[in-house]
Structure 1
Amino acid sequence: MELTYNTDKNAFVAVCAYEEKDIPKAAGFRWTKIVEKHWATTDVAIAAKLIDYADEEAKNMLRAAADERQHNLDLSRAAKLDIEIPCPDGLDYLPYQKAGIAFAQDKEAVLFGDEMGLGKTIQAIGFINTHPDIRRALVVCPASLKLNWQRELEKWLVNNYTISIADTKVGIPETDIVIVNYDILHKMPFNEIAWDLVLLDEAHYIKNSATQRAKAVRGDWNKSKKEWKTAPIPARYRIALSGTPIPNRPREAWTILNWLDYQTWPNYFKYCIRYADAHQGQWGWEMDGASHLDELQDKLRSTIMVRRKKMDVLKELPPKRRSVVVLPANGASAIVKRERQQYAAHEEALELARAARDLAKASGDETAYQNAVETLRSIQGVAFSEMSKVRAELAIAKAPLVAEHITDILDGTDVDYKVIVFAHHREVVKILVDALVEYGVVSITGDTAMNARQEAVDHFQTDPAVRVFVGNIQAAGVGLTLTASTHVVFAELDWVPANVSQAEDRAHRIGQLNSVLVEHLVFDDSLDAKMAKTIVAKQEVIDKALDDEYTLFEPVTVAEEKPAQQQRKETALTGEQIDAIHAGLRHLAGNDYDYASEQNGVGFNRYDGAIGHSLAEAYTLSEKQAQLGLKLIRKYRRQLPSALLEMVGIA
């Protein structure tokens, strides 16, 4: 018997006598049409079993394939790689992301299978950055992620691509990159365009080949007529993103694998026999099992899949990773607009009221001053009440989209993956609990009794069937340990940023051995969107400032923080320092004729102006007033003489 390589058919052929037929058959060769009347295979792993029978050409092919296979296996697990990959100025990929992009860059089909939160989106964009030949790309994703994809593409792409979102009203835009959600994919002729790249985010959306979304991507073949009912979407490159590339039922992965690499995964039935423990049952074929999973993983890693888990790359990750997920407002756009208008009107009214208060104080008329203060308080109360109402409306309108986002997370992750969800309003908590009940959900609000609170926590921490915790930020944001999850989702923002940080730390506590992913879900162009981006940016700055020596396994405790806090409280200001602070405030106020440093680059900003002017105009400052003024001196120190700063004690 001799093993040869047929260049025309790209196949290994076992040339053997009839009595030797069981050797290639046992190895996995097939008596096939690939090479007529011969045992043949296109699978290198199968051919390698007969390397002892190979001629020189076949041996060389197998050795080269073995080297490539090992290279792919190493890259598919690599936690870091120090190579140059095109990246926008000011940004960079994490080391393991570079390894993922390196794995993908010379392939026509790739499955990014990293665990949730490790940046599959960024790696997919990195693939585009390494392929300047990609000029037309289609990104297919859940509806809740369309805007997020648009922003990430705009942020990470190095070349000037035009990007837009398709919908049924405008059709398919004439842009370089088109983003569309699965639900409307079948309603437009995407298969009539020759795409350079088709990318499927949350690729498990097409796991059922009978669905409209799967048929829109893969096509719908009429076996009897041997023609396409619906042609597949053509593409030179194909990318799939999935946090669970091999689900508990491996049969569900075949549709994705077949779309990515038809040559390797051509036959559903044979795939299920090998990897889904397919067998004849009482009522026909049963294919919900699993078999040869090590072989399946090895085959995927050596060809198309890169996958790392959080534990593999923990050293590369910060203790907390935060992101703002922008949801399309759609039916809530009128409420978003009303929120913006109310906010602008209230801000203008408050500014006028603050100015009136300061003028009344400066006049020395105590009655006028007290009236102005009461007016300001009244306006603040009305503003808070009206804004609270519209924010509640927005939160209730957003809740179904939040539930959809969490459903996508749970469907796209392992069955033991858990999510913590925080909301502000009871109505939102109820909507989320009702929508997620099939995943096993517990909840805590202000109405939850103490014994029931602990029972809910225990269920979430220990019961594999309970995958979701939904809590009110105030009621569940402190005092609880929820380390069974590494994923926190905020359906709403609290008015107090400190409450947000406290809620995050329900997952990020002693006993948490992984990095925690925090997501803020906001409507596009809403007040929450602006607040969330500001909060995330500030929290990351604070984390970097405080956590230079941070170790995830040795968190700073409250007891350790107290001495430093006590020392700061006991530091008293001298008379000279109080006078210097007063002089500094007067210096700043003297340059601040417009109460807004945005106008001329000096003085206070709009929010600090009232305090700064009030303190500057005072005859003398008390200790408490001086401490308040010191905060402003620190904030605006670049506008002050160095000699004055030295007197205050600021180096």
Structure 2
Amino acid sequence: MTSTADARLKNRATGNKNGIRSLVRGGRVLKNEGIIPQLALAVREVEASARRGKATPANRVRFQVVALLVREERARVRDGTDISEADRQETLKRLDGVANILASAASHDTSLIPLLQPDAVITDAALQLRKTMLEKAGVTEPEELSVEVASARKMVTESKQRQVVPRSIARRARANPFLPPPQGVINHETLHTGLANWELIAPLLKAFEQGGQGESTMQLPEAPKRDRFAPPRSALMPHQARLLASVRAGHREFLLADEPGLGKTAQSLLAASVAGAYPLLVVAPNVVKMNWAREAASWTPQRRVSVITGDGKDVNPFADIFIINYDILERHISWLAAFGFKGMVIDEAHMIKNVTSQRSRNTLELSAKIRESVVDPLLIALTGTPLINDIEDFRAIWQFLGWLQGDAPGAKLLNELEKNGYTPADGAFYPAARQSVIDLGIVRRRKIDVAKDLPAKRIIDLPVELDTDEAPDIKAAERQLATKLFNQFAKLKQRKLGQKLSTEQLIRAACMQEYEIAAESGGVSVFTMVRQIGLAKAELAADYAAQLARSVGKVVFFAKHIEVMDRAEEFMRARGLGVSSIRGSQSAIERQEAIDAFQNDPRVNVIVCSLTAAGVGVNLQASSNVVLAELSWTDAEQTQAIDRVHRIGQEEPVTAWRIIAAQTVDQKIAELIDSKAGLAARALDGAEAQAENSDPVQLRVLIEVLRQELQRRISTI
């Protein structure tokens, strides 16, 4: 923790019996003196501001300080021995009155509620206001630290103790002791004229809250006639190429808010390539971390990629692209801050909207460090949902990009606002200010806007790393199945030696034997493994569906097993999403009610469907996004599920997201299903016939498992 933050903790004395004291004369509390009148005056201003629709930044600070002082005074009065019981009850009653007004203000402006959290950051402005209010009340601060401050300091100490520096990172530092000198930052000299004394954050947010003032995308260059950005055998869509042309022209900061399915990941990776922003740090939710690694290998194959997991034991210190999830960022922040990144991408950037959370503080600390040490670093915030609950959600993202510095515009943004020549007193300030922020780097494209660039239907695989409690059991089950198949292979080989069967024939015979008894077997089989994987993926898939629902609207969620559907529904409902469901156990009336609710009720965000019960005869065109939490055994069943959305009446391109458990048989099943897709093309579309294995997918999965086991055993001999 910085010395400034440490000083804040020292000054933030709270709630012990030696803490804040109201004025007492003759053994009685004076009602019109002390801290409570100061609190009452401040809280009335906050409530009036909140009732007008939105508390101003100054009143947000008042709200937080009043809440803090109420807690402190209540604790002092309850524990104090220098106050009569009658005065104690009277004071607590008056404090309850202040607390009720705080609650009223928060009910009118719900964005105030996070300021009540115990871990909410106390800003310099709040500390100064607190000091001023105490001085007016004639209150003296105690010398010693309170229990709350001691607890906070303990948390900081524990956080430092949790920090890790992987050995490979230390080796990298020793291998290159001559670090390049800091490049320094560009000095954006600010013009201090008409806006010098104005509070600007609230007017800026209001400019966006008003809406209806044109597009929310900066001016982008036209796409080049020849695609020089994508690697060989890959191609960009025009809207993607336009953003990269902007990077080539020198733009380095983007709030890329394209809808899901428009290739934000590819644009970010290629932007780093165009800008030469290596090493690049990518911070993403755990559910998409593996997908980032795969996309990086696809779009920038010449670059080395390292995925940081756990304590970073396997991190490659000489990689070009480092991928880490938000959940473990705090553990690695010390070495990440000193590593020398020239670019940073945060995926699902709305996850840092609460600037007081540890996740946000870590992310903003890293971006600030990069901006301090690199001239024009590449900073990209990706989100299909830049706003979830409130216009205030913009704050953290703008701060990440350097457009805000605390509670004021950064130098670059302030210069742009000065050029407009308006102040918040002018009506023209608001559309001009909105455009100034957009021109700094906001890019928002919808599917319908770029429909001509998109295929009518796309299937996108989203590999996820299983980190749930079921993951070890799945690995153990795969090993058990592989051992079972090998033993059957060994028995057949011993018994059939005289017949001179080839190895491939023996493999097929062993797997055919397992395939025929698998459905009736009580032990581990490919069917039980698929169910286990489905359960392990359930919450990861539900989490991704929830993100889609918040960014693009309604989502259709398909699963195979009832337990997976139950777990997904529970997860989404717990996060406040409206959910309906289609299951095989429903009556025709219940089924239609669920469909109608999804199609017509704006409060229903997701419909959770059984692959078998809802795969046919259902129209769900209210959505253009499908999440396949579990894989089918046939391409036809998968296609039928997607076609519940991709049908007549659908006005937008359809995207289906297949959630695939990385490094499990799930990956092989997906590959085999895709290889079966040629049958329909051949039989119905007249496509050229290609050699295709006619074995069932389940049998082919078993064959692949046994082949890998044989190779493993040979390699260990």
State the TM-score, normalizing by the size of structure 1.
Answer: 0.62
- Tell me how far apart the structure 2 counterparts of residues 150 and 446 of structure 1 sit (CA, whole Å): 38
Of residues 343, 365, 369 in structure 2, which corresponds to 1:219?
365
CA contact 1:329–1:336 (8 Å) conserved in 2: no
Letter in 2 for 1:258: Q
Q: CA deviation at 1:321?
A: 1.3
Q: In percent, how many aligned pairs have the same letter?
A: 28
- C-alpha distance after superposition, 1:552-596 (max 9, x if no partner): xxxxxxxxx8xx99xxxxxxxxxxxxxxxxxxxxxxxxxxxxxxx
Measured against aligned partners, the alpha-carbon deviations of 1:145-197 in whole angstroms (never above 9, x if no partner) come to: 11111111111115333423243353965133211111121222122322111
Shift of 1:249: 2.2
Deviation (angstroms), 1:447 = 0.7
2:337 aligned residue? 191
2:555 to 403, 414, 419: 419
The Cα of 1:219 is off from its aligned counterpart by 3.1
Residue correspondence of structure 1 range 402-417 to structure 2 within 5 A: 402-411=541-550, 413-414=551-552, 417=553
Map of 1:157 onto structure 2:
300
- Match in the other structure for 1:430: 566
Structure 2 counterpart SS, 1:318: coil
Structure 1 equivalent of residue 4 of structure 2: none
1:451 alignment partner in structure 2: 589
Deviation of 1:299 after TM superposition, in Å, equals 3.0
What corresponds to 1:251 in structure 2?
392
Distance 1:156-1:377 versus aligned 2 partners, 3 A rule: closer
1:466-545 to structure 2, matched below 5 A, reads: 466-536=604-674, 539=677
2:385 pairs with 1:240? no
Contact 2:582 2:594 in 1 (8 A): yes
Distance in 2, matches of 1:249 and 1:292, equals 22
Judged with a 3 Å threshold, the aligned counterparts in structure 2 of structure 1 residues 295 and 429 are, in CA distance, closer, same or farther, namely farther
Displacement after TM superposition at 1:254 (Å): 1.6
User: Which residue, out of 248, 272, 283, partners 1:128?
Assistant: 272
The reply on whether 1:98 has 2:98 as its aligned counterpart is no
State the secondary structure of the residue aligned to 2:613: helix
The Cα of 1:267 is off from its aligned counterpart by 2.1
CA distance in 2, matches of 1:102, 1:422: 38
More strand per residue: 1
Aligned pairs for 1:246-395 (under 5 A) are: 246=387, 249-262=390-403, 267=408, 298-330=435-467, 331-341=469-479, 344=482, 378-379=516-517, 381-382=519-520, 386-395=525-534
Residue in structure 1 matched with residue 220 of structure 2 by the alignment: 75
Distance 1:194 1:453, change over 3 A: same
**Mapped contact 2:285–2:348 kept (Cα < 8 A):** yes
Return closer, same or farther for 1:403/1:376 CA change in 2, 3 Å cut-off. Answer: closer
Give yes or no for contact 1:258–1:266 (8 Å, CA) kept in 2.
no
Deviation readout 1:193-226 (Å, 9 max, x if unpaired): 22111110000011110000110011399xxxxx
2-structure distance, mates of 1:401, 1:266: 35
Find the aligned partners of 2:385 and 2:450 in 1 and give their Cα distance. Answer: 17
SS at match of 1:219: helix
Q: Distance in 1 between matches of 2:386 and 2:292?
A: 21
Match in the other structure for 1:111: 255
Question: Which piece of structure 1 moves more, 385-394 or 499-508?
Answer: 385-394
Q: Confirm or deny: 8 A CA contact 1:145 1:327 kept in the other structure.
A: yes
Cα gap change, 1:315 to 1:220, in 2 (>3 Å): closer
CA contact (8 A) 1:129 1:159 kept: no
| Counterpart-to-counterpart distance in 2, 1:384 and 1:261 | 59
Q: Which has the higher relative contact order, 1 or 2, with Cα contacts under 8 A spaced 6 or more apart?
A: 2
Distance 2:228 2:543 in 1: 34
Q: Is contact 1:141–1:179 with CA below 8 Å preserved after alignment?
A: yes
Where does residue 439 of structure 1 map in the other structure?
577
Q: Is the 8 A contact 2:353 2:393 kept in 1?
A: yes
In the TM superposition, 1:564-603 aligns within 5 A as: none
1:192 maps to a residue whose letter is A
Deviation of 1:406 after TM superposition, in Å, equals: 2.2
Partners of 1:88 and 1:473 lie apart in 2 by 37
Q: Is the 8 A contact 1:483 1:509 kept in 2?
A: yes
Partner of 1:65: none
1-side partners of 2:639 and 2:490: how far apart?
A: 33
Q: Which moved more, 1:243-252 or 1:477-486?
A: 243-252
Shift of 1:500: 1.1
Displacement after TM superposition at 1:397 (Å): 2.1
SS in structure 2 of the partner of residue 518 of structure 1: strand
Task: Give the drift of 1:506.
Answer: 0.6
Q: Does 1:176 align with 2:345?
A: no
Q: What is aligned with 2:58?
A: none
**What is residue 84 of structure 1 aligned with on the other side?**
227
CA drift at 1:75: 1.5
Task: State the one-letter code of the partner of 1:329.
Answer: L
Q: Residue 324 of structure 1: SS of its match in structure 2? A: strand
What is the deviation of 1:323?
1.5
Conserved in 1, the CA contact under 8 Å of 2:559 and 2:610?
A: yes
Residues 486 and 375 from structure 1, CA distance in 2 versus in 1: closer, same or farther, beyond 3 angstroms? closer
Say whether the 8 Å CA contact 1:72–1:103 is kept in structure 2. Answer: no
Q: Provide the rounded CA distance (Å) in 1 between the counterparts of 2:216 and 2:593.
A: 49
Q: What is the number of residues matched between the two proteins?
A: 460
In 2, the alpha carbon distance for the partners of 1:197 and 1:471 equals 41
- In structure 2, the CA distance between the partners of 1:352 and 1:31, relative to structure 1 (3 Å rule), is closer
What SS does the aligned partner of 1:500 have? helix
Question: Which ranges of structure 2 fall in alignment gaps of 5 or more residues?
Answer: 1-185, 199-203, 208-214, 414-427, 500-509, 697-717
Structure 1 residues 375 and 337, CA, compared in 2 at 3 Å: closer, same or farther? closer
Q: 1:108: Cα distance to partner? A: 2.4
Cα separation, 1, equivalents of 2:429 and 2:492: 72
CA distance in 1, matches of 2:337, 2:572: 35
CA distance in 1, matches of 2:633, 2:360: 43
Partner of 1:140 in structure 2? 283
Q: Is 1:396–2:396 an aligned residue pair?
A: no
C-alpha distance in 2 between matches for 1:233 and 1:12? 21
> Residue 195 of structure 2 is aligned with which of 30, 35, 40?
30
Measure the CA separation in 1 of the matches of 2:263 and 2:641: 23
Per-residue CA deviations over 1:86-112 (Å, capped at 9, x if unaligned) read: 322211211111012112341221111
Q: Quick one: distance in 1 between partners of 2:195 and 2:544? A: 45
Contact 1:444 1:472 survives alignment (8 Å): yes
Classify the secondary structure of the residue corresponding to 1:148. Answer: helix
CA distance, structure 1, for counterparts of residue 462 and residue 656 of structure 2: 10
Instruction: Indicate if the aligned counterparts of 1:328 and 1:524 stay in contact, CA closer than 8 A.
Output: yes
User: CA 1:492–1:543 in structure 2 vs 1: closer, same or farther (change >3 Å)?
Assistant: same
Unaligned 5+ segments in structure 1 are 1-6, 15-28, 34-42, 47-69, 222-227, 272-290, 362-371, 547-560, 566-602, 609-651
Taking a change above 3 Å as real, the CA distance of residues 544 and 260 of structure 1, as seen in their structure-2 partners, is farther
The offset of 1:345, in angstroms, is 5.8
CA distance in 2, matches of 1:9, 1:162: 34
Q: Given the superposition, is the C-alpha separation of residues 241 and 489 from structure 1 closer, same or farther in structure 2, using an over 3 Å criterion? A: same
Alignment partner of 1:88: what SS? coil
Q: Which amino acid aligns with 1:518?
A: A
